């Protein structure tokens, strides 16, 4: 390496003294983005100039589109009126909610007919649950303690296993419901379903396929199609879990336990419960140290009230 003495020069633009100050006023008033665009026009590469031209064309098209949308909105408001538009928005809101909630039979005479059991677990799925639910048959306190230590099942299931009915038929029915409920919770804890047997090898194909088809959305990522648990699908899983918990618990369930199993915010699960027309109440836990939220299905059903913030956004 050879070292040489050198001088460092800083080149600065020179503005002639005979240029009037007002000649620069228009340039100085421009934004940074506009100044950069002027530099690109004068000194930019062909690629930069093409990008600048494309961006300006898009800005013009966007402005034309905005004017067209505003004109169309004004025409619709003038034709239909504000009251009719608000009514249409309310109907759209109800239809959006119905896509993620279980089918609700508002005219039902009995609580068990509001969210019918067959709409949650089909007869074919119920029959397929016989084999995997056998793990809960003749379960002992020691078995439950071991499951709790190993965290094999969610808190709701472990709590319900402590109070199984004495009747053999009712015991078998509750065991099947609890096993299916645990599948819903495990599905809701995932974000992307990658493997073929998403719910494990012990889950019958008819149930695994039904869960993936009903509670996931197809998306494209990493070069392949994936089954995604989107935000709306998370709400759907929660709604079906609440409906099943109502059937298990004589149409009253502890929403706080479900919220913790599903890892939701307290306000989120309360919004879903209210959308399902449940009466919300408070109760002390068994230990008496904390307050739990209970959701109860009562007839006649209360009026459906959507979260205030969402209604405002929808109306806007």
Write the DSSP symbol of residue 131. Answer: T
Burial class (CB in 10 A: 0-12, 13-18, 19+), 169: exposed
Q: 164, 177 in Cβ contact below 8 A?
A: no
Same domain, 163 and 255: yes
Question: What pLDDT was estimated at residue 105?
Answer: 87
Residue 94 lies in a domain: no
User: What's the count of helices (H) and strands (E) in the chain, helices before strands?
Assistant: 14, 6
Q: How many CA atoms lie within 13 A of 111 on its CB side?
A: 19
Question: What pLDDT, on a 0 to 100 scale, did the predictor assign at position 307?
Answer: 53
Quickly state the pLDDT bin for 152 (edges 50, 70, 90): confident
pLDDT in tens, 110-139: 888 899 999 999 999 999 998 888 888 888
- 12 lies in some domain: no
The predicted structure's pLDDT at residue 138: 84
59 and 126 assigned to the same domain: no
Question: Are residues 172 and 56 part of one domain?
Answer: no
pLDDT of 276 above 80: yes
Tell me, yes or no, whether 66 and 162 share the same domain. no
Q: Is the pLDDT of residue 312 over 70?
A: no
Q: What is the pLDDT of residue 83?
A: 64
pLDDT recorded at residue 198:
67
Instruction: State mean pLDDT over 140-155.
Output: 88
Q: Distance between CA 138 and CA 118 in Å, rounded?
A: 26
DSSP 212-267: HHHH-EEEEETTEEEEE--HHHHHHHHHHHHHHHHHHTTTEEEHHHHHHHHT--HH
Residues 283, 183, single domain; the answer is yes
Q: Of 5-14, 149-158, 196-205, which gets the smallest average pLDDT?
A: 196-205
In this structure, is residue 273 part of a structural domain? yes
> For the chain, how many structural domains are there in total?
2
Which residue do the tokens 């979260």 mark?
A: 307
Res 82: pLDDT = 62
Using DSSP, state whether 283 is helix, strand or coil. strand
Average pLDDT, the chain: 81
What local confidence, expressed as pLDDT, does residue 95 receive?
A: 46
Question: Residue 315: pLDDT above 50?
Answer: no
d(CA 260, CA 263) in angstroms, rounded, equals: 5
- Please give the average per-residue pLDDT across 256-277, as a whole number: 88
The answer to whether residue 284 is domain-embedded is yes
Q: How far apart are CA 224 and CA 125, in angstroms?
A: 29
pLDDT in tens, 92-106: 444 444 578 888 888
Whether 152 and 287 map to the same domain: the answer is yes
Gap between the Cα atoms of 143 and 148, Å rounded = 9
| Domain housing 47 | 32-80
Provide the pLDDT confidence category of residue 4 given band limits of 50, 70 and 90.
Answer: very high
pLDDT in tens, 208-260: 888 888 888 877 666 667 788 888 888 999 999 999 999 998 888 888 889 88
Percentage with pLDDT > 90 across the chain: 16
| pLDDT tens per residue across span 178-199 | 999 999 998 888 888 766 666 7
Classify residue 204: in a domain, yes or no: yes
Q: Are residues 114 and 254 in the same domain?
A: yes
The answer to whether the CB of 269 falls within 8 A of the CB of 258 is yes
Check whether residue 70 and residue 168 sit in a common domain.
no
- Is 92 part of any domain? no
Q: Which range is least confidently modeled, 63-72, 162-171, 271-280?
A: 63-72
Q: Residue 141 phi/psi, 5° resolution?
A: -60, -35
Q: For residues 166 and 303, state if they share a domain.
A: yes
Whole-number Å distance between alpha carbons of 153 and 179: 9
Above 90 in pLDDT, residue 20? no
- Separation CA 100–CA 196 (nearest Å): 24
């Amino acid at each position: 390496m050879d070292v040489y003495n050198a001088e460092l020069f800083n080149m600065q633009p020179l503005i002639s003294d005979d240029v009037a100050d007002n000649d620069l006023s228009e340039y100085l008033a421009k934004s940074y983005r506009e100044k950069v665009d002027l530099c690109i026009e004068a000194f930019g590469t062909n690629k930069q100039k093409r990008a600048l031209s494309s961006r300006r064309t898009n800005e013009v098209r966007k402005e034309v589109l905005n004017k067209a949308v505003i004109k169309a909105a004004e025409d619709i408001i003038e034709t239909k009126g504000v009251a009719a538009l608000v009514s249409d928005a309310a109907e759209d809101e109800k239809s959006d909610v119905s896509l993620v909630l279980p089918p609700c039979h508002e005219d039902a005479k009995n609580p068990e007919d509001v969210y019918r059991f067959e709409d949650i677990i089909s007869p074919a799925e119920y029959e397929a649950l016989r084999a995997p639910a056998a793990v809960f048959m003749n379960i002992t306190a020691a078995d439950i303690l071991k499951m709790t230590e190993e965290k094999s099942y969610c808190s709701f299931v472990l709590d319900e296993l402590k109070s199984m009915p004495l009747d053999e038929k009712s015991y078998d029915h509750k065991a099947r419901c609890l096993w299916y409920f645990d599948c819903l919770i495990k599905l809701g804890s995932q974000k992307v379903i990658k493997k073929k047997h998403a719910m494990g090898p012990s889950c019958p194909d008819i149930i695994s396929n039904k869960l993936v088809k009903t509670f996931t959305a197809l998306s494209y990522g990493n070069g392949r199609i994936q089954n995604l648990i989107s935000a709306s699908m998370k709400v759907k899983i929660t709604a079906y879990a609440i409906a099943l918990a109502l059937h298990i618990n004589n149409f009253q369930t502890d929403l706080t336990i479900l919220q913790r199993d599903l890892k939701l915010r307290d306000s989120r699960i309360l919004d879903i419960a209210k959308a399902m027309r449940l009466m919300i109440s408070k109760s002390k836990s068994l230990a008496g140290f904390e307050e739990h939220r209970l959701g109860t299905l009562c007839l006649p059903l209360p009026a459906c009230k959507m979260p205030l913030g969402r209604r405002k956004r929808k109306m806007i």
